[in-house]
């Protein structure tokens, strides 16, 4: 019997759901040959440590938004390009396109990571203390982002001040006014009760988060052929199964937000067009600077267009 530790930074969200369904699907196929242990909520360390953990084989598997794997495999940032997906359904059609899905599985193989799960996570929203229904409202606001260029540069481009800040300090910083808002998905905002501090989110509709589950390739190769096959199948079965769960969970989170007195604002068509244009210029520049990333980006965009 071999143990497979599945790690993630979040809990009770679609990533955690994928882990649970994966465990069931795997058990269906190989019984107790593989003992799956799930460690949500950063129990095994911070995100960078979990990434290294899978790389070094101390953790067998880790599920995360693609943004956190860019330091390992730069091509994975293509999924963060703004404005590529029209809807969660469109996103799912692209990443579950049979041929492209086979390609995704191997995208980080050079680095010793096999992608066995690829799922829709949630849309990126911007949370603000003051309502920001217009693009110009965001100018000069201090917005907490991840330290990834595809979040920092677009935010700067529309005049906001992007500030990477440790998650534990976000709440007091928001309360005290050290920052004016943050980029995040709705399930995270409701899970941590952000409606108690800031009431407004603006749905910029610029990016949908893709999460992937990676396993350590050396560990994977050390498994017997039937277990390898079962892991790949269970991963894909789980990603099909959690899509409706994930979509419903975002809706549930949106409802929880408004039930607690929060508001969800949308940009005018005009503002969105101008924002999309700005974001595209910025992201194209980032994504074409490395030929390998540029090639992957083109391949993705071909599927995106074909599946629209």
Partner 1 sequence: MIWTLAVLPIALFVLGFPVFTVLLAAGALTMALVMSVPPLAVHQILFGGVENYALLAVPFFVFAGELMSRCGVSDRLVLWIQSFTGHLRGSLGVTTIASATILGAVSGSSPATVAATGRTLYADLLKARYGRRFSLGLIASSGAVAIVIPPSIAMILYGASGEQSISKLFIAGILPGLLISLAMAAFVVLWVRLRRGDIGRAGTEIAEAGRMGFRAATVHSAGALAMPLIVLSGIYLGVFSPTEAGGVACLYSMLLARWGYRSLTWGEILEAASDSAYLTGQILVIVSAAALFSWCLTVQGVPQALIGWVQQADLSPTVFLLTINAILLVLGCFIDPTSAILVLTPILLPIVKHLGIDPIHFGIIMTVNLSIGMFTPPFGLNLFVAQSVLKADIWDVCRGVLGFFLVQVATLMIITYLPPLSLWLTTLL
Partner 2 sequence: MTGGVSGSVKAAASIFRKLLGLLLIAMVLLNVANAAGRYLFGKAIEGSDELLVFAMVWLVFLGAVLVTARQGHLGFDIVERLLPPGPRRLLQVVRHLAIATLSGYVALQSWAVLQKLTRVGQSSMALGLPMVVPHAAVLVSFLLILAFSLRNALRPPQPPAASDGTGEEPR
Residues that bind partner 1 (CB under 8 A): 2-3, 5, 37, 39, 42-46, 48-49, 52-53, 56-58, 165-169, 171-173, 175-178
The yes or no reply on residue 68 touching partner 2 (CB under 8 A) is yes
Instruction: Give the shortest CB-48-to-partner 1 separation in angstroms.
Output: 7
The yes or no reply on residue 252 touching partner 2 (CB under 8 A) is no
Looking at the Cβ atoms of 14 and 160, the one nearer to partner 2 is: 160
Give the whole-angstrom CA distance, residue 1 versus residue 7: 19
The yes or no reply on residue 49 touching partner 2 (CB under 8 A) is no
Looking at the Cβ atoms of 105 and 180, the one nearer to partner 1 is: 180
Give the whole-angstrom CA distance, residue 289 versus residue 284: 8
Cα Rg of the chain (Å, integer): 19
Among residue numbers 97 through 156, which ones bind partner 2 (CB under 8 A)? 111-112, 140, 142, 146-148, 152
Determine which residue in the list 4, 55, 208, 282 makes contact with partner 2, applying CB under 8 A: 55
Instruction: Give the shortest CB-157-to-partner 2 separation in angstroms.
Output: 14
Looking at the Cβ atoms of 31 and 48, the one nearer to partner 1 is: 48
**What SS3 state is found at 136?**
helix
- Rounded to the nearest 10 degrees, how much is the dihedral formed by the CA atoms of 232, 233, 238, 239? 70
Q: Which does 111 bind (CB under 5 to 8 A by kind): partner 2, partner 1, none?
A: partner 2
Which of 1, 54, 4, 10 minimizes the C-alpha distance to 211?
10
Which of 209, 219, 200, 218 minimizes the C-alpha distance to 264?
200
Instruction: Give the shortest CB-281-to-partner 2 separation in angstroms.
Output: 20
Instruction: Give the shortest CB-148-to-partner 2 separation in angstroms.
Output: 6
Residue 255: CB atoms within 10 Å: 12
Q: Which does 181 bind (CB under 5 to 8 A by kind): partner 2, partner 1, none?
A: none
The yes or no reply on residue 86 touching partner 2 (CB under 8 A) is no
**What SS3 state is found at 115?**
strand
Burial annotation 75-98 (CB, 10 A radius, 16+ → b, else e): bbbbbbbbbbbeebeebbbbbbbe
Q: Which does 191 bind (CB under 5 to 8 A by kind): partner 1, partner 2, none?
A: none
**Could you tell me the two tokens for 60?**
């067998």
**Which are the contacts of 303, defined by CB distance < 8 A and separation ≥ 6?**
94, 97, 100
Give the whole-angstrom CA distance, residue 133 versus residue 126: 11
The yes or no reply on residue 72 touching partner 2 (CB under 8 A) is yes
Instruction: Give the shortest CB-222-to-partner 2 separation in angstroms.
Output: 16
Which of 223, 237, 216 minimizes the C-alpha distance to 28?
237
Looking at the Cβ atoms of 147 and 273, the one nearer to partner 2 is: 147
**What SS3 state is found at 119?**
strand
Looking at the Cβ atoms of 142 and 272, the one nearer to partner 1 is: 142
Which residues contact partner 2 by CB under 8 A?
48, 51-52, 55-56, 68, 70-72, 111-112, 140, 142, 146-148, 152, 161, 163-164, 166, 178
């Amino acid at each position: 019997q071999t143990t497979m530790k599945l790690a993630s930074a979040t809990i009770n969200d679609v990533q955690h759901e994928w882990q649970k369904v994966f465990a069931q699907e795997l058990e269906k196929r190989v019984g107790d040959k593989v003992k799956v242990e799930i460690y949500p909520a950063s129990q095994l360390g911070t995100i960078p440590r979990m990434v290294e953990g899978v790389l070094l084989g101390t953790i067998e598997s880790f599920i995360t938004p693609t943004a956190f794997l860019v330091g390992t495999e730069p091509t994975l940032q293509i999924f963060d390009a703004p404005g590529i997906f029209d809807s969660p359904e469109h996103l799912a059609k692209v990443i579950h396109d049979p041929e492209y899905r086979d390609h995704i599985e191997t995208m980080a193989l050079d680095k010793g990571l096999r992608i066995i799960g690829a799922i829709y996570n949630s849309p990126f929203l911007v949370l603000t203390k003051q309502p920001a229904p217009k693009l110009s409202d965001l100018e000069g606001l201090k917005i907490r982002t991840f330290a990834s260029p595809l979040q920092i540069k677009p935010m700067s481009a529309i005049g906001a001040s992007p500030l990477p800040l440790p998650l534990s300090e976000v709440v007091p910083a928001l309360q005290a006014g050290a920052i004016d808002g943050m980029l995040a998905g709705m399930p995270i905002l409701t899970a941590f009760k952000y409606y108690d501090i800031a009431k407004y989110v603006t749905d910029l509709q610029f990016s949908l988060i893709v999460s992937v589950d990676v396993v350590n390739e050396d560990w994977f190769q050390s498994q017997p052929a039937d277990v390898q096959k079962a892991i790949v199948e269970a991963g894909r079965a789980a990603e099909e199964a959690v899509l409706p769960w994930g979509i419903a969970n975002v809706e549930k989170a949106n409802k929880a937000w408004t039930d607690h007195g929060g508001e969800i604002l949308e940009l005018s068509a005009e503002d969105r067009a101008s924002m999309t244009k700005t974001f595209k210029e910025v992201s194209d520049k980032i994504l074409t600077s490395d030929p390998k990333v540029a090639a992957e980006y083109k391949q993705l965009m071909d599927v995106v267009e074909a599946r629209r």
